[in-house]
Chains A and B, each alone.
Chain A
């Protein structure tokens, strides 16, 4: 029951924040992906960095349970699936989480995204044996690995570097990139940027 309550609280917070950062607005997604407005990219980088620093910092202080980590397997299909997801993300302007939030916020096109998504997931369920047989789902580089070796984690490290310190360093790097990235990479700004 506690876990259901946590699902309600954290899930609702996640949905609300996705709405407020504009991640469930296809216009904002595609302005990021066509590199004309990188505000959302900066927010995402800052979020990954903040999450990383807090999680690994918390682990080092003994406040965060290392056992809560869940690292996914690396295999060639992760890259191919990433390419597919990226293409569809640009076409629709939604990814799975933001599509669900967009539909709930009143966007009708997101309902079509979800319908397509349910069919796409079903198509994968049916074709899964062929992917499995192809070997493209076989783990590479050790499978469930992190970049460094995290003390107390059940996952192996790609390198022997201390994984918690590396996590904090990379987290800070994500935050630095978030601040360094210009608002816009392509084309001319419509008007002069106000000084901050």
Chain B
């Protein structure tokens, strides 16, 4: 069972506050680009190159804003990339400490099972498609639920409000159409 919303919300708020107090606001989706860059640069070392001023790339997206993404690709041991690795460690330890995810939920979550059956292949296909759309959208928007919605609205950023409006305007109808049966 999850924490009740008051304890959970307070803890989540404290983490977002700690991040901006000690370093900078939390964000995640950029790191998918950085990992793509690391993989692509391993295959083709011409992708990211060092210049007199820093780093650049043959890919226009990695090269934008003075090559800041190119720099992260060349130096993966940076704050934001390590942050996401640490999230995985924290998520793993927390899940193990509460006994792990129930076996049947590991491939097909309960609400999905109630609406679309227990086929893992179907669920995996939807998760893959959803992942593609989520990250394409997050990069177009310049951030995701963490960076735009939570960190952004917390800082009263106009962009955070625009993002949240778009996200819920699409997410609520899609979810209501897809998940009519209750788990």
Contacts and interface: CB of A to CB of B under 8 A. Distances in A.
Contact of B60 (A71, A78, A129, A190): A129
Interface string B91-103: 1111100101100
Contact of B132 (A34, A35, A120, A126): A120
Contacts of A35: 172, 176
B132 A88 contact: yes
Contacts of B107: 107-109
Contacts of A126: 59
B89 to A, nearest CB: 5
Nearest to A119: B132
Interface string A118-129: 111111111011
Given A92-B131, A123-B132, A123-B136, A104 B88 contact: yes
> What's the interface size class on B, roughly?
35 or more
B128 to A, nearest CB: 4
A178 B5 contact: yes
B178 A125 contact: no
Interface in A105-123: 105-110, 112-123
Given A90-B170, A96-B146, A116-B132, A146 B158 contact: yes
A174 to B, nearest CB: 8
B9 A87 contact: no
Contacts of B166: 78-83, 85-86
Given A78-B142, A167-B156, A132 B163 contact: no
A42 B139 CA distance: 27
A101 B88 contact: yes
Residue with the highest number of chain A CB atoms closer than 10 Å, among B157, B164, B180: B157
Interface in B165-183: 165-172, 174-176, 178-180, 182-183
B141 interface: yes
Contact of A148 (B60, B133, B156): B156
B86 to A, nearest CB: 3
Contacts of B4: 39
A91 B90 CA distance: 25
B145 A89 contact: yes
Given A72-B142, A79-B166, A14 B21 contact: no
B87 A14 contact: yes
Contacts of B86: 7-12, 14-15
B174 A43 contact: no
B87 A99 contact: no
Nearest to A99: B131
B169 A83 contact: yes
12 contacts: A13-B18, A16-B91, A42-B9, A46-B10, A82-B169, A86-B137, A96-B32, A115-B131, A116-B133, A120-B32, A121-B139, A147-B157
Top 7 closest A-B pairs, CB basis? A82-B166, A92-B130, A81-B141, A50-B13, A84-B137, A116-B131, A11-B86
Given A44-B9, A121-B136, A163-B156, 18 more contacts: A12-B86, A14-B15, A15-B88, A18-B87, A44-B12, A48-B13, A55-B155, A71-B159, A72-B160, A92-B134, A96-B134, A97-B26, A100-B87, A105-B94, A107-B105, A124-B61, A125-B33, A125-B37
